[in-house]
């Protein structure tokens, strides 16, 4: 990723007024595009009037006015209004203070006032277009009169033709500028709304984030902002349509008298019908967006937890859930389109009927009046203009409904409660960096507090350890200090800047160096000192690009320990006053943890002069901290130094006495961990569409096949019949005019009747960058606590705006190119039309009035169709990119499932649990070294095998190979005499059980999370919960098994999530169980309980366990020692300990076992 700011000024800034009028300034860019495929660097920056720097401050000011006008901040104690948001000293009531205010802040009015001048200019241009449109029937009537009875010489006819050409040219100029300004308004509105949503997401309170999970916020920023901008654009287009209708009726009345009343009556009936349909459509649009939110929420969670879904063979289950929600959304969409049918039908058929009936009434009303060509021509011309107004009427109501729906959803989000903002500069300086007095905290006012009566004082420069069992509130205490929780009672005072290391490392899709710098300037000396202190030096040696290696999404090409050390290095490098460590040592080996504690956290480390709060389950470091806080029963039960607490019969003493204390040999650092060979495909390895470009006709044929031959033949035939009837109508009017002595015919006149131009499609870059933008939004929203802890909201907001404007500029230059093309095609059409009129004048009496009208009509239609054919062809090429991208994605390599040659495995397979690796080797992708090399081993039935090794030794690779997440280079895995490569993936994964390193929960009920396929009854689930030591917790929850988990299980601690995964495993209870560092996030006592459960409930099962805590596998039957992807040793623990030079002995010594 390019972190340098590149400037490529928009050519419009330096263009002359003539160049802007005729759109000649983009010519150089279009010329470049004709020679090569344009890249992002070739596209100039967005024009200043469309940027966030120009528009967002104005919007911010207007939005603050709306908040003040609604008395939004008067309901509760309000500290201040800043950045367009309201911050409260006290938490507002549920649903915020909006319920207490009779007037709600209106986002629509804020937008309208923000862009009021631009909106006014657009309407002025539209009024000029309408003026020329209203003049056209008068002009054409004059032409007909001149042809019927020439009242001057040839030069008068030439003047009339020239005036016709001039009005056409002026109308094109005004109309193209009108469309251009509308598109700029759309982009500006979308840009402002996207920025507002993203900035709000960084300030959202915990209760607000509960109401708006990541999937819903992604829908707001990707769909609602775009739809609101488009609807605002279209409303500005239809705003003056009532005026247009009124003026046309006046002209019709002057021309036809009372006979025009029929047109008025028909139009009123249509308008009333459209209003009723628009009301029903608005309700459907709201329902559709709710269902889209639901689908996007589930889809986001499925993609985030795809590894867990694959490991548990839940693809069919969750795929069905996504499909079901999509079907519900499609049902609403079907109803929307059914409502559109009468709208489209009325706007197409009604003008023809009104034209015929109006002329018929005129003829029968005035029996003595001769219906000549001038009257027919003018009437049909005016009714054509009326048709345009009527066409815009349903669009206006439809777009108004869309605007209300999407702006309303965004408005509701912007009015959500925000995290309280506290001043960083304190008037009173104390000796304590952190003070909590009588604090009671909760994640939501609707649920019981998770911390009660907390009083904590942390001295400046002090080191405080927080210990306690799973779910007691250790991480909640850290979040309370970060002010991420709702304060029920008490006060919190934090003096100084904060750096935060979360329990689950948050990694950006960026280079490793940028993940550490996190926006701070690069200091080489400090940077490499931090790398060494965080034990990252050896890892850089084997990473493909060193610290410039791009890290994949969620750190997928790093091991768990490496991700945690990168997160730690980020905090250490960004020099802060206060450091909050949420159990960072649990994800690393004991000797690595010793190195990190000595060199970073301890009173002799790099942070010795900083205030540090360390949540830990590692009892070996407790003797080296200043103060220990023991959390139990949601409050601080004990506090004091290690010596004080150990001198009495304390809870801490009981925990320490039951846990081994590591005695690490500093010299062992020479064999410290090497970088992981478990490298997944990097996010930077993106498909090069230029190398895989598909043939255009192949794309179209694939699309037509997917669409269905019957459908496109039906649509094509309908369009053909439509144009046949239009042509026949023209000819019939020509015959009618001839029969009445008229000199004009044709329904379509040659004035400036514009085809309605819809929203321009996105090009290939737009699609790619937008997709990337959505991913960025999802990643940033998941790291919002970390961003807020580092007080980095403004930097990320700026970065988001920059990427958003990069996306916008492709759309901007796309519609600019259309304006360039439309202007030139319009001139060509005007020349054709003027030439036709001139030739008719030169022919004189040789051409009848009917033929003249028909010729002018066809000249206009042909030239207009030619223009629209070229424009639509260009749009079709652009839109085909979407089909091409889908085809590329569908054609991507997928997991091979051997349906045709799969063995029919017995229903009870595996019934013994014998696992044999035979010459097994694998790598993650071509070009990387082997992650496992020539593995040969046998696991006997019912054996308990511990898998150990340093970081990157291949432990997780070996576990994943059992589930066939990675295909081998050679060799095989045999389970109970069956090669798993010959068994269907779903069979393999459903017959094995794993507790993964990263616990995954979905925003569903507890019951669904434990049993998504609904294979077990409630009694079995409660039994599993009891064995997982969660019975008491779940029983206390509202709804118990029906208790709704938040997104990612955020309303449970990491340890509780891991125990829920254990309960899920207990339900399945297969013959083979894999534990991938499953107890790293729990305390020693809970770890012992889990191990007891595994020994009792899986006593007849084969168990493979990867564990950082070596003591948990010391009573296993055998230990597998891996080193650099090969089997270093495989024997009983007792025999391995006899080899004092072996890796296992060194690991045992590091863990304090020997």
Instruction: Round to whole Å and give the CA distance between 657 and 488.
Output: 37
Least confident of 418-422, 426-430, 1095-1099: 426-430
Q: What is the pLDDT of residues 997-1040, one digit of tens each?
A: 778 888 889 999 999 988 889 999 999 898 888 888 898 888 88
The C-alpha atoms of residue 286 and residue 332 are separated, in whole angstroms, by 10
End-to-end CA distance of the chain: 48
Q: Which helix (H) or strand (E) holds 563?
A: helix 560-573
Q: How many CB atoms lie within 10 A of CB 687?
A: 12
- CA 1019 to chain CA centroid, Å, is 39
Mean per-residue pLDDT, 885-904: 68
pLDDT at residue 464, as a whole number: 92
pLDDT at position 377 is 65
What is the number of other CB atoms lying within 10 angstroms of the CB of residue 837? Answer: 24
What is the structure's pLDDT at 371? 62
pLDDT of 675 over the 50 cut:
no
Is the model's pLDDT at 322 over the cut of 60? yes
Residues 654-670: what's their mean pLDDT? 47
Separation between Cα atoms, residue 413 and residue 107, nearest integer Å: 11
For the cut 60, the answer to whether the pLDDT of residue 754 exceeds it is no
- Residue 918: band (very low, low, confident or very high) from pLDDT cuts 50, 70, 90: very high
Q: In whole angstroms, what is the distance from residue 483 CA to residue 418 CA?
A: 11
Taking the C-alpha atoms of residue 922 and residue 900, their distance in angstroms, rounded to an integer, is 24
Q: What is the pLDDT of residues 441-467, one digit of tens each?
A: 887 777 778 888 888 999 888 999 998
Q: How far apart are CA 804 and CA 192, in angstroms?
A: 10
Of 933, 1081, 969, the C-alpha closest to 585 is 1081
Q: Rounded mean pLDDT of 980-998? A: 85
Of the pLDDT bands very low, low, confident and very high (cuts 50, 70, 90), residue 654 is low
Polymer length of the chain: 1154
User: Tell me, what's the pLDDT at 786?
Assistant: 66
pLDDT of 174 above 80: yes
Q: What pLDDT, on a 0 to 100 scale, did the predictor assign at position 7?
A: 56
Residue 90 confidence (pLDDT) above 60 = no
Range 366-378 average pLDDT: 65
In angstroms, the CA 787 to CA 1101 distance is 44
String of DSSP letters for 462-523: -EEEEEE-TTSSHHHHHHHHTT-SEEEEEEEEE-S-EEEE-SS----SSBHHHHHHTTSPP-
Q: Mean pLDDT lowest for which of 352-361, 588-597, 891-900? A: 891-900
Comparing CA positions, the residue from 158, 148, 593 lying closest to residue 375 is 148
What local confidence, expressed as pLDDT, does residue 101 receive?
41
The pLDDT value given to residue 696: 61
Question: For residues 194 and 773, is the Cβ–Cβ distance under 8 A?
Answer: no
pLDDT, averaged across the chain:
77
Per-residue pLDDT at 767: 32
pLDDT bin (cut points 50, 70, 90) of residue 734 is low
Give the DSSP per-residue string, 105-144: --HHHHHHHHTHHHHHHHHHHHHHHHHHHHHHHHHHHHHH
CA-CA-CA-CA torsion sign (792, 795, 801, 805)? negative
Interhelix angle 373-414/709-739, nearest 10 degrees: 140
CA distance 166 to 1065: 79
pLDDT at 147 over 60: yes
Mean pLDDT on 1099-1112: 82
CA atoms in the 13 A half-sphere facing the CB of 123 = 16
Q: How many CA atoms lie within 13 A of 1051 on its CB side?
A: 27
Tokens 């190119």 locate to 817
619 has a pLDDT exceeding 60: yes
Is residue 749 a contact partner of residue 377, using CB atoms and an 8 Å limit?
A: yes
Q: Is the pLDDT of residue 677 over 60?
A: no
* Poorest-pLDDT segment among 9-23, 650-664, 982-996: 650-664
Q: Among residues 651, 553, 535, 653, which one has the least CA distance to residue 601?
A: 535
Using 50, 70 and 90 to split pLDDT, how confident is the model at 611?
Answer: very high
Decide: 1111 and 952 in contact? Cβ < 8 Å.
no
C-alpha to C-alpha distance for 599 and 607, rounded to whole angstroms: 8
d(CA 827, CA 158): 19
Distance (Å, whole) CA 408 – CA 282: 11
- Please report where in the chains the tokens 């207490």 appear, as a residue: 100
Q: What is the pLDDT of residue 151?
A: 65
- With residue 1103 as reference, give the H or E element that holds it: strand 1102-1106
Q: What is the pLDDT of residue 94?
A: 38
* pLDDT greater than 50 at residue 665: no
Q: At 1009, list the tokens.
A: 């999370």
Task: Return the pLDDT at 85.
Answer: 39
pLDDT, tens digit (0-9, with 9 covering 90-100), for 691-725: 444 456 677 777 777 777 677 777 777 777 766 77
pLDDT at residue 612 tops 90: yes
According to the model, what pLDDT value does residue 897 have?
Answer: 59
- Residue 900: the pLDDT is 47
Residue position matching structure tokens 């390193």: 997
pLDDT at residue 748 in the model:
34
Share of the chain above pLDDT 70, in %: 77
Span 3-20, mean pLDDT?
75
Where do runs of H (alpha helix) occur along 366-418?
373-414
Neighbours of 728 (CB within 10 A): 10
What pLDDT is stored for residue 142 in this prediction? 75
| pLDDT at position 610 over 80 | yes
Are 749 and 171 in contact by the 8 Å Cβ rule? The answer is: no
Where helices occur in 941-1083 by DSSP H, the ranges are 955-962, 985-991, 1006-1010, 1018-1027, 1031-1036, 1054-1068
Distance of CA 153 to the CA centre of its chain: 68
Out of 32-46, 543-557, 1064-1078, least confident range: 543-557
**How many whole angstroms separate alpha carbon 263 and alpha carbon 279?**
25
pLDDT value at residue 902 = 52
Predicted pLDDT of residue 465: 92
Provide CB contacts within 8 A for 489, sequence distance 6+: 438, 439, 440
Which pLDDT tens digit goes with each residue over 926-935? 777 788 889 9
Q: Which residue has the higher pLDDT, 719 or 1064?
A: 1064
Region of poorest pLDDT, from 278-282, 389-393, 1062-1066: 389-393
Q: Is the pLDDT of residue 636 over 60?
A: yes
Query: pLDDT tens, 865-882?
Result: 766 777 677 777 777 777
At 150 the three-state DSSP class reads: coil
Q: Are 339 and 276 spatial neighbours (Cβ–Cβ below 8 Å)?
A: no
> 187 near 229, Cβ under 8 Å?
yes
DSSP E strands in 800-939: the ranges are: 915-922, 932-939
pLDDT for the residue numbered 749: 33
201-218: average pLDDT = 78
Q: How far is residue 914 CA from its own chain's centroid?
A: 44
Whether the upstream peptide bond of residue 910 has omega within 30° of 0, thus cis, is yes
- At residue 84 the predicted structure's pLDDT band, cuts being 50, 70 and 90, is very low
Q: What is the model's pLDDT at position 706?
A: 72
Instruction: Name the pLDDT band for 1140 (thresholds 50, 70, 90).
Output: confident
């Amino acid at each position: 990723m390019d972190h340098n700011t590149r400037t490529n000024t928009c050519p419009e800034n330096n263009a002359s007024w003539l160049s802007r009028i005729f759109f000649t300034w983009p010519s150089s860019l279009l010329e470049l595009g004709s020679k090569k495929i344009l890249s992002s660097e070739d596209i100039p920056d967005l024009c200043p009037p469309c940027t966030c720097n120009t528009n967002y401050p104005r919007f911010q000011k207007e939005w603050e006015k709306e908040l003040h006008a609604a008395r939004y901040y008067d309901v509760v104690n309000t500290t201040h209004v800043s950045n367009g948001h309201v911050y409260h000293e006290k938490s507002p009531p549920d649903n915020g203070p909006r319920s207490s205010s009779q007037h709600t802040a209106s986002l629509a009015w804020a937008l309208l006032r923000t862009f009021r001048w631009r909106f006014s200019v657009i309407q002025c241009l539209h009024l000029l277009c309408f003026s020329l449109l209203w003049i056209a029937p008068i002009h054409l009537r004059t032409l007909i009169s001149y042809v019927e009875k020439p009242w001057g010489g040839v030069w008068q006819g030439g003047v009339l033709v020239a005036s016709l050409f001039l009005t056409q040219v002026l109308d094109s100029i005004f109309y193209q500028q009108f469309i251009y300004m509308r598109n700029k308004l759309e982009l500006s509105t979308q840009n402002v709304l996207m920025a507002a949503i993203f900035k709000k997401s960084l300030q959202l309170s915990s209760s607000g984030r509960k109401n708006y999970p990541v999937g819903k916020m992604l829908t707001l920023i990707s769909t609602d902002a775009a739809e609101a901008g488009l609807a605002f654009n279209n409303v500005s287009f239809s705003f003056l349509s009532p005026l247009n209708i009124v003026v046309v009726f006046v002209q019709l009345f002057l021309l036809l008298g009372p006979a025009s009343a029929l047109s008025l009556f028909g139009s009123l009936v249509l308008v009333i019908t459209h209003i009723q349909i628009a009301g029903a459509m608005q309700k459907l649009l709201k329902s559709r967006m709710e269902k889209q939110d639901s689908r996007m929420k589930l889809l986001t969670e499925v993609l985030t937890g795809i590894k867990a879904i694959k490991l548990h063979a839940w693809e069919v289950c969750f795929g069905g859930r996504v499909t079901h929600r999509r079907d519900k959304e499609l049902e609403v969409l079907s109803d929307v389109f059914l409502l559109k049918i009468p709208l489209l039908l009325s706007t197409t058929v009604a003008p023809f009927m009104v034209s015929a009936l109006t002329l018929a009434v005129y003829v029968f009303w005035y029996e003595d009046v001769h219906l000549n060509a001038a009257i027919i021509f003018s009437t049909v011309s005016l009714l054509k203009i009326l048709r345009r107004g009527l066409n815009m009427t349903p669009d206006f109501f439809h777009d108004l409904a869309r605007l209300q729906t999407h702006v309303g959803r965004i408005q509701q989000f912007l009015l959500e409660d925000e995290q309280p903002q506290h001043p960083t500069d304190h008037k009173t300086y104390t000796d304590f960096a952190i003070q909590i007095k009588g604090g009671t905290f909760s994640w939501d006012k609707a649920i019981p507090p998770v911390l009660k009566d907390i009083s904590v004082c942390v001295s400046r420069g002090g080191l405080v350890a927080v210990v306690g069992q799973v779910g007691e509130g250790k991480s909640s205490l850290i979040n309370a200090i970060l002010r991420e929780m709702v304060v029920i009672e008490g006060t919190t005072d934090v003096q100084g800047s904060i750096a935060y290391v979360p329990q689950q490392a948050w990694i950006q899709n960026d280079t490793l160096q940028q993940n550490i710098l996190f926006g701070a300037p690069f200091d080489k000396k400090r940077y490499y000192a931090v790398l060494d202190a965080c034990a990252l030096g050896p890892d850089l040696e084997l990473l493909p690009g060193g610290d410039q290696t791009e890290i994949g999404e969620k750190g997928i090409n790093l091991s768990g320990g490496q991700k945690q050390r990168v997160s730690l290095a980020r905090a250490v490098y960004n020099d802060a006053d206060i450091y909050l460590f949420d159990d960072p040592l649990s994800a690393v080996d004991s000797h690595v943890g010793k190195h990190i504690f000595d060199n970073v956290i301890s009173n002799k480390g790099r942070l010795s002069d900083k205030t540090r709060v360390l949540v830990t389950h590692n009892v070996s470091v407790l003797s080296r901290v200043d103060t220990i806080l023991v959390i139990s029963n949601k409050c601080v039960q004990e506090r004091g130094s290690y010596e004080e607490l150990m001198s009495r019969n304390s809870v801490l003493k009981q925990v320490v006495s039951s846990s081994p204390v590591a005695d690490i040999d500093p010299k062992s650092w020479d064999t410290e961990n090497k970088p992981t060979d478990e490298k997944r495909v990097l996010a930077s390895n993106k498909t090069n569409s230029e190398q895989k470009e598909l043939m255009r006709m192949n794309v179209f044929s694939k699309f037509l096949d997917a669409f269905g031959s019957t459908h496109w033949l039906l649509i094509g035939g309908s369009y053909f019949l439509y144009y046949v009837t239009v042509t026949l109508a023209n000819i019939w009017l020509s015959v009618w005019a001839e029969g009445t002595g008229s000199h004009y015919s044709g329904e379509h006149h040659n004035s400036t009747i514009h085809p309605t131009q819809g929203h321009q499609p996105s090009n290939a870059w737009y699609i790619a960058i937008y997709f990337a933008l959505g991913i960025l939004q999802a990643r940033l929203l998941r790291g919002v606590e970390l961003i807020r802890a580092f007080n980095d909201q403004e930097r990320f907001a700026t970065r988001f705006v920059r990427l958003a404007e990069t996306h916008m500029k492709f759309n901007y230059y796309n519609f600019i190119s259309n304006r360039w093309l439309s202007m030139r095609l319009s001139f060509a059409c005007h020349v054709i039309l003027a030439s036709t009129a001139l030739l008719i004048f030169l022919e004189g009496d040789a051409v009848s009035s009917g033929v003249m009208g028909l010729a002018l009509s066809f000249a206009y239609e042909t030239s207009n169709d030619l223009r629209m054919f070229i424009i639509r062809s260009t749009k079709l090429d652009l839109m085909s990119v979407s089909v091409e991208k889908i085809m590329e994605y569908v054609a991507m390599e997928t997991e091979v499932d051997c349906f045709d040659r799969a063995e029919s495995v017995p229903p009870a397979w595996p019934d013994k649990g014998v696992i044999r690796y035979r010459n097994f080797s694998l790598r993650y992708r071509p070009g990387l070294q082997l992650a496992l090399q020539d593995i040969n081993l046998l696991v006997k039935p019912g054996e308990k095998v511990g898998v150990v090794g340093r970081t990157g030794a291949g432990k997780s690779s070996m576990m994943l190979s059992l589930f066939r997440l990675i295909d081998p280079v050679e060799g095989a895995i045999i389970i109970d005499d069956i090669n798993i490569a010959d068994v269907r993936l779903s069979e393999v994964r459903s017959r094995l059980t794993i507790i993964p390193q990263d616990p995954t929960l979905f925003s569903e009920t507890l019951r669904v999370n434990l049993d998504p396929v609904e294979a077990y009854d409630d009694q079995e689930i409660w039994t599993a919960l009891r064995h997982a030591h969660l019975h008491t917790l779940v029983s206390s929850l509202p709804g118990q098994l029906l208790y709704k988990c938040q997104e990612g299980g955020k309303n449970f601690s990491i340890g509780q999530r891991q125990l829920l995964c254990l309960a899920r495993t207990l339900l399945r209870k297969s013959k083979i169980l894999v534990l991938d560092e499953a107890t790293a996030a729990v305390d020693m006592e809970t770890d012992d309980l889990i191990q007891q459960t595994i020994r009792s409930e899986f006593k007849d099962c084969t168990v493979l366990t990867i564990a950082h805590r070596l003591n948990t596998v010391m009573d296993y039957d055998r230990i597998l020692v891996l080193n650099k992807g090969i089997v270093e040793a495989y024997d009983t623990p007792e025999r391995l300990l006899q080899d004092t030079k072996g890796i296992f002995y060194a690991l045992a010594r590091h863990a304090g076992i020997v």
